[in-house]
C-alpha cells in the first residue's frame, strides 16, 4: 500500500543540481549517429549532463516503451512495444566503442510480452559489446523476466561482468510496482549468482517513497542473503505531477549512515547519496574485480 501523499516540497539545497546540456553534445551526437537510446534520457535522469560530459551513457535496449506501469518511473508506458530490433546490439556496441567506454552499461524496459523477457537480446548485446570493446567490462541491469530460469541462464551465459536487478523499494510499497514481486526480484539475484558465481550482482533502491529506516535495513539484509555484491541507494525524484509524489527528502548524512550499514553487512561497494542511480559511477564498482576473475562465455546448462 502506498503512503498518503504529501504536499510538493521545495527541493533542499543538496538537490539543486545545475544541468548544463552544452557539455553533452559530443555524447548526444554519437548516440544519434548510431540510433541508440539511453535510460539517461528516457527516465529523465538528473545526472545526464554530468555523465554525458564524461562520454558515459547507459544504453536502453528493447525499445522505449515499458509493459509495466511503475508509478515512480519516467519511462513511457503509453504505447505498445515494438518487436526487438535485431540490429540494435551491434549499434549499441559501435556507439560504446566510439565513446571509448571501458565500462559498458546496458539496461532495458520490461518486456513481459516477449517469451524470454528479452534475454536473448541482452545476450546478443553482451556479445557485441565484448567484441567491439574487448578491454571493457560489461554491466547489465535486467528486468525480472518473470523469474524464468532459462532466461537468466541465457543472460549469464553471455558473459557479463556484472548483472544488476533493482529492488527499487521495500516490500510494503510494492503496490507502486504492478506486476513486480519482491521475492521474485531476490530470486533473480540469487539465481544469477548460483548460475555464475564469478559474476558480481548488484541492486538499487530509491528512498523517499515513504519507507522506514528499519525497512531499508531489512532490505539490505535480504539482498546480502541473496548474495548481492553491490548496492546503490538514491533519492526518488518525481518525474511529473502524474507520478508518485516524494514523501521525504533523505539527507546526505542519512545516506552516509546507510552506506556504513551496507559496508557492515558485507557489500563490496555501496554508492549512497541523493543523486545516486543504479548506473551512476558504475565504473567505480568494478575496480575491486581482478582481471583473472572476469567471466568468459559460458555454456548454458
Q: Residue 112: which CATH number?
A: 3.20.20.70
Residue 264 resides in a domain: yes
Is the Cα torsion angle 262, 267, 271, 277 positive or negative in sign?
negative
Backbone φ and ψ for 137, nearest 5 degrees, come out as: -85, 150
Residue 253 resides in a domain: yes
Residue 101 resides in a domain: yes
pLDDT at 300: 40
CB atoms closer than 10 angstroms to residue 12: 13
Rounded to whole angstroms, the Cα distance separating 206 from 239 reads 13
pLDDT at 291: 46
Q: What angle do CA 276, 280, 285 make, to 5 degrees?
A: 110
Q: Does the predicted TM-score (pTM) go above 0.85?
A: yes
pLDDT at 17: 72
Which helix (H) or strand (E) element contains residue 84? none
Backbone φ and ψ for 151, nearest 5 degrees, come out as: -65, -40
Per-residue pLDDT of the chain (301 residues; tens, 9 = 90+): 444 444 445 788 888 777 676 778 999 999 999 999 998 888 888 888 889 999 999 999 999 889 988 888 867 777 788 999 999 999 999 999 999 999 999 999 999 999 999 999 999 999 999 999 999 999 999 999 999 999 999 999 999 999 999 999 999 999 999 999 999 999 999 999 999 999 999 999 999 999 999 999 999 999 999 999 999 999 999 888 888 999 999 999 999 999 999 999 999 999 999 999 999 888 888 655 444 345 544 444 3
The span from the first CA to the last CA of the chain, in angstroms, equals: 39
DSSP 192-215: HHHH-TTSEEEEEEEE-SS--HHH
Residue 301 resides in a domain: no
Residue 84 resides in a domain: yes
Residue 65 resides in a domain: yes
Burial of residue 209, with CB atoms counted within 10 A of its CB: 0-12 exposed, 13-18 middle, 19 or more buried: buried
Rounded to whole angstroms, the Cα distance separating 125 from 106 reads 8
pLDDT at 286: 67
Residue 14 resides in a domain: no
Is the Cα torsion angle 47, 49, 54, 57 positive or negative in sign?
positive
Rounded to whole angstroms, the Cα distance separating 270 from 255 reads 10
Rounded to whole angstroms, the Cα distance separating 293 from 188 reads 22
pLDDT at 275: 94
Q: Which long-range contacts (CB under 8 A, 24 or more apart) does 63-67 make?
A: 63/37, 63/109, 63/111, 64/37, 64/109, 65/109, 66/109, 66/110, 67/109, 67/110, 67/111, 67/112, 67/113, 67/179
Domains held by the chain: number: 1
Domain containing 163 equals: 20-293
Residue 155 resides in a domain: yes
pLDDT at 79: 79
pLDDT at 9: 59
Rounded to whole angstroms, the Cα distance separating 126 from 121 reads 9
Amino acid at each position: 500500500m502506498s503512503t498518503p501523499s504529501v504536499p510538493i516540497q521545495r527541493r533542499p539545497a543538496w538537490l539543486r543540481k545545475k544541468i548544463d546540456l552544452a557539455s553533452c553534445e559530443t555524447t548526444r551526437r554519437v548516440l544519434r549517429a548510431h540510433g541508440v537510446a539511453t535510460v539517461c534520457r528516457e527516465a529523465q535522469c538528473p545526472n545526464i549532463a554530468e555523465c554525458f560530459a564524461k562520454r558515459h551513457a547507459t544504453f536502453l535496449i528493447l525499445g522505449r516503451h515499458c509493459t509495466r506501469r511503475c508509478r515512480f518511473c519516467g519511462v513511457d508506458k503509453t504505447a505498445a512495444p515494438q518487436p526487438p530490433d535485431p540490429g540494435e546490439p551491434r549499434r549499441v556496441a559501435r556507439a560504446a566503442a566510439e565513446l571509448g567506454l571501458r565500462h559498458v552499461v546496458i539496461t532495458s524496459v520490461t518486456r513481459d510480452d516477449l517469451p524470454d523477457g528479452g534475454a536473448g537480446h541482452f545476450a546478443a548485446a553482451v556479445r557485441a559489446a565484448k567484441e567491439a570493446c574487448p578491454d571493457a567490462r560489461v554491466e547489465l541491469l535486467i528486468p525480472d523476466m518473470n523469474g524464468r530460469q532459462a532466461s537468466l541462464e541465457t543472460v549469464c551465459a553471455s558473459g557479463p561482468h556484472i548483472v544488476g536487478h533493482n529492488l527499487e523499494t521495500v516490500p510494503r510499497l510494492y503496490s507502486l510496482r504492478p506486476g513486480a514481486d519482491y521475492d521474485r526480484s531476490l530470486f533473480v539475484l540469487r539465481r544469477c549468482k548460483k548460475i555464475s558465481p564469478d559474476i558480481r550482482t548488484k541492486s538499487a533502491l530509491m528512498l523517499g517513497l515513504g519507507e522506514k529506516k528499519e525497512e531499508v535495513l531489512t532490505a539490505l539484509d535480504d539482498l546480502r542473503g541473496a548474495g548481492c555484491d553491490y548496492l546503490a541507494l538514491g533519492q526518488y525524484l518525481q518525474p511529473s505531477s502524474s507520478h508518485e509524489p516524494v514523501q521525504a527528502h533523505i539527507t546526505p548524512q542519512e545516506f552516509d549512515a546507510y552506506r556504513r550499514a551496507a559496508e557492515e553487512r558485507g557489500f563490496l561497494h555501496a554508492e549512497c547519496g541523493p543523486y545516486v542511480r543504479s548506473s551512476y559511477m558504475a565504473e567505480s564498482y568494478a575496480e575491486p574485480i581482478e582481471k583473472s576473475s572476469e567471466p568468459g562465455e559460458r555454456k548454458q546448462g
